[in-house]
Amino acid sequence: MRSPGKPTFSSTPAVSNLKMRILGVDTALRTTGFGILDTDGRSFQAVDCGVIKTTAKEPLSECLRRLAGGVRELVKQYAPDVGAIEGAFFFQNARTALVLGSARGAVIATLAELAIPMYEYSPRKMKQAVCGHGNASKEQVALLVSQVLGISVGALPNDATDALGLAICHAQTCVTANGLMTPDPL
């Protein structure tokens, strides 16, 4: 039996027998995207995706409580092996950076509490994995996620398609060079 979050590979490097369920999370305070993806190392299947929303009138502490509760419910319902989260990037507005950091912290702490390994990918790395270049727009990411997964994303928020993109990025990173480029868990 394999331990959660640790990909298993065959002895032939070109053919992997990776099997895992990945929870991708695109964090924000008001609208956090999630995507659940199953992969065998060669194909991807979207299980579910959507957003965890809070209203603008809620205080920060309530938003973080709801975000953590939403992540707990996703883990309870879908039992992911690993999580993939968007890494922090530079903000000119310090308040925006602190709020996003709080939301990321709530997700990371909740997954750590539930013993789900979490891997971080920069927005550029996710876009490279999904679109082939790191300067892709959110619309390009959504289009290619749609094509890779064979789903219609027209009615989905960009936060949900970005979360699916993070899950695809983690799956591809685990397979490429037998996982040698997989980052250390957070």
Instruction: Write the burial class of residue 65 (CB in 10 Å: 0-12 exposed, 13-18 middle, 19+ buried).
Output: middle
Would 74 be classed as within a structural domain? yes
Crossing angle, helix 158-175 and helix 138-149, to 10 degrees? 60
CATH number of the domain at 96, please: 3.30.420.10
86 flagged as catalytic: yes
Would 103 be classed as within a structural domain? yes
26, 38, 120, 162: the active-site residue: 26
What is residue 87's predicted lDDT score, i.e. its pLDDT?
A: 86
Would 9 be classed as within a structural domain? no
38, 81, 120, 159: the active-site residue: 159
71-104 pLDDT tens trace: 999 999 999 999 999 987 666 778 878 888 899 9
φ and ψ at residue 46, rounded to 5 degrees:
-70, 130
Would 10 be classed as within a structural domain? no
159 flagged as catalytic: yes
Model confidence at 11: pLDDT above 60: no
81, 86, 120, 162: the active-site residue: 86
**51 near 180, Cβ under 8 Å?**
no
Q: Would you place residue 14 in the very low, low, confident or very high pLDDT band (cuts 50, 70, 90)?
A: very low
Would 4 be classed as within a structural domain? no
Q: Would you place residue 112 in the very low, low, confident or very high pLDDT band (cuts 50, 70, 90)?
A: very high
Would 89 be classed as within a structural domain? yes
* Count of the separate structural domains present in the chain: 1
What is the extent of the structural domain holding 89?
A: 20-179
37-72 pLDDT tens trace: 999 878 899 999 999 999 889 999 999 999 999 999
Residue 123 CA to chain centroid, in angstroms? 11
Nearest to 76 by CA among 50, 113, 45, 102: 113
Q: What is the mean pLDDT of the chain?
A: 85
Would 15 be classed as within a structural domain? no
The three-point CA angle 161-167-172 to 5° equals: 125
Tokens of 123: 């927005």
